[in-house]
């Protein structure tokens, strides 16, 4: 049967798919738009399954904080290329996902997948993700969700571009201090708040490294012990938020800054797009040759 342009246009508006894909689906469904949508959804799920193994190390970090600053979420949403990370459809999906995370009780990305998507309760987060994969043609993953619920202080945030997101739980101080601290965490990436939170196994490992380095100097054991302790103090200053020099005023530590303001950092989170994902690297010439051989 003949498929009208108006019917194709309606299907495009409802699915976001390409014109030729919409026309083909309508031809297969004999003009039944609901049947075409169902077939396209099934096809999209199949495409999503095929693409799920591809490396997705680009994307965005999104932050949402409730008006009372007592609840907040940080979400990482990945795609395969920086180009898609800037796509309007991908950005809209990311905005909807972080809004869903804030209003839901989901504790992690796996639980978030089955939540109704904000602004479109007919779709779950995972259903919308699969539809977007079918439309864009790249693997898309909601990789991480971190929650702050019922905090004692107030939440403050900073996003560096779209790739780094920080949330700080600050008791005392003001909004300017909270933003400055979030910016500091984005820049310096501390391991934890204070020295007492550094894992013992990490301290033991660093101490062994420093000991081996100090022994090579040939100095007496008493001097070696002092060298090790000095290097351990320096290490703790580098990896802890309180020990680090404040980025906007390196003459004072973050600990001194907080004492002057009568404030305390109770918790923080820093997420960077793609951290921990092993990215695939290919020789461009080999990639072109592989494509030529396939044609």
List, for residues 80-91, the tens digit of each pLDDT value: 888 888 999 999
**CATH for 27:** 1.10.8.10
Residues 135, 214, single domain; the answer is: no
Quick one: 13 and 37 in the same domain?
yes
Sign of CA dihedral 14, 18, 22, 23: positive
Within-domain flag for 99? yes
207 and 242 housed in the same domain: yes
- Has residue 168 been placed in a domain? no
Total number of domains in the chain: 3
Domain that holds residue 71: 53-150
Cβ atoms of residues 88 and 79 within 8 Å: no
Q: Are residues 70 and 136 in the same domain?
A: yes
| pTM > 0.75 | no
Q: 145 and 62, same structural domain?
A: yes
pLDDT for res 200: 87
In a domain, 176, yes or no: no
> What is the per-residue pLDDT for 295?
45
Asked, for residue 155, whether it belongs to a domain, the answer is no
Last residue of a domain, one of 118, 150, 182: 150
Report yes or no on 290 lying in a domain.
no
Spacing of C-alpha 96 from chain mean position: 15
Please state, as a whole number, how many other Cβ atoms lie within 10 Å of the Cβ of residue 294: 6
Q: Is residue 252 part of a domain?
A: yes
Q: What are phi and psi of 215, to 5 degrees?
A: -65, -30
Joined together, the tokens standing for residue 162 give 């779209």
Query: Based on the domain organization, do 84 and 143 belong to the same domain?
Result: yes
Claim to verify: residue 230 and residue 208 sit in the same structural domain: yes
CATH number at residue 199: 1.10.286.20
Sign of the Cα pseudo-torsion (46, 51, 57, 59, in order): negative
The ranges of the chain with pLDDT < 50 are 45-51, 282-284, 288, 292, 295
Q: Are residues 59 and 19 in the same domain?
A: no
Could you list the beta-strand ranges (E) of the chain.
58-65, 72-79, 116-117, 120-124, 141-148, 154-160, 164-171, 245-246, 249-253, 264-272
Establish if 11 belongs to a structural domain.
yes
Same domain (yes/no): 204, 142: no
Residues 36 and 76 in one domain: no
Give the domain-ending residue among 51, 72, 89: 51
- Asked if 15 and 58 sit in the same domain, the reply is no
Q: How far is the C-alpha of 217 from the C-alpha of 183, rounded, in Å?
A: 39
How confident is the model at residue 224, as a pLDDT?
72
d(CA 165, CA 159): 4
Q: What is residue 282's predicted lDDT score, i.e. its pLDDT?
A: 47
Q: Tell me if 89 is assigned to some domain.
A: yes
Please tell me whether residues 139 and 74 are part of one structural domain.
yes
Burial zone of 33 (CB within 10 Å; 0-12 exposed, 13-18 middle, 19+ buried): middle
Q: What is the pLDDT at residue 211?
A: 76
* Cβ-contact 191, 200 below 8 angstroms: no
Amino acid 43: pLDDT? 63
Give the whole-angstrom CA distance, residue 200 versus residue 114: 38
Query: CB–CB of 261/250 below 8 Å?
Result: no
CATH number of the domain bearing residue 124: 3.30.479.20
């Amino acid at each position: 049967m003949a498929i009208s342009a108006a019917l194709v246009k309606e299907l495009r508006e409802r699915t976001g798919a390409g014109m030729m894909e919409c026309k083909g689906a309508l031809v297969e469904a004999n003009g039944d738009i609901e049947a075409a949508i169902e077939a396209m959804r099934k096809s999209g799920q199949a495409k999503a399954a095929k693409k799920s193994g591809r490396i997705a190390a680009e994307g965005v970090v999104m932050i949402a904080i409730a008006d009372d600053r007592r609840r907040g979420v940080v979400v990482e949403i990945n795609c395969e290329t920086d180009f898609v990370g800037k796509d309007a459809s991908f950005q809209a999906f990311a905005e909807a996902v972080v809004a869903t995370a804030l209003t839901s009780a989901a504790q992690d990305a796996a639980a978030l997948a089955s939540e109704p998507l904000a602004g479109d309760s007919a779709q779950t987060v995972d259903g919308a993700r699969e539809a977007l994969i079918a439309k864009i043609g790249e693997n898309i993953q909601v990789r991480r969700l971190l929650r702050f619920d019922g905090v004692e202080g107030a939440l403050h945030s900073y996003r560096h571009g779209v790739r780094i997101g920080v949330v700080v739980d600050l008791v005392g101080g003001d909004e300017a201090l909270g933003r400055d601290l979030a910016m500091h965490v984005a820049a310096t990436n501390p391991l934890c708040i204070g020295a007492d939170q550094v894992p013992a196994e990490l301290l033991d490992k660093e101490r062994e490294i420093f000991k081996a380095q100090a022994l090579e100097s040939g100095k007496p054991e008493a001097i070696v012990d002092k060298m090790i302790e000095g290097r351990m103090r320096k290490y703790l200053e580098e990896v802890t938020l309180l020990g680090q020099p404040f980025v906007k005023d390196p003459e004072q530590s973050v600990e001194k800054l907080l004492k002057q303001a009568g404030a305390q950092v109770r918790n923080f989170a820093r997420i960077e797009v793609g951290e921990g994902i092993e990215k695939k690297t290919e020789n461009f010439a080999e990639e072109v040759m592989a494509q030529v051989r396939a044609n």
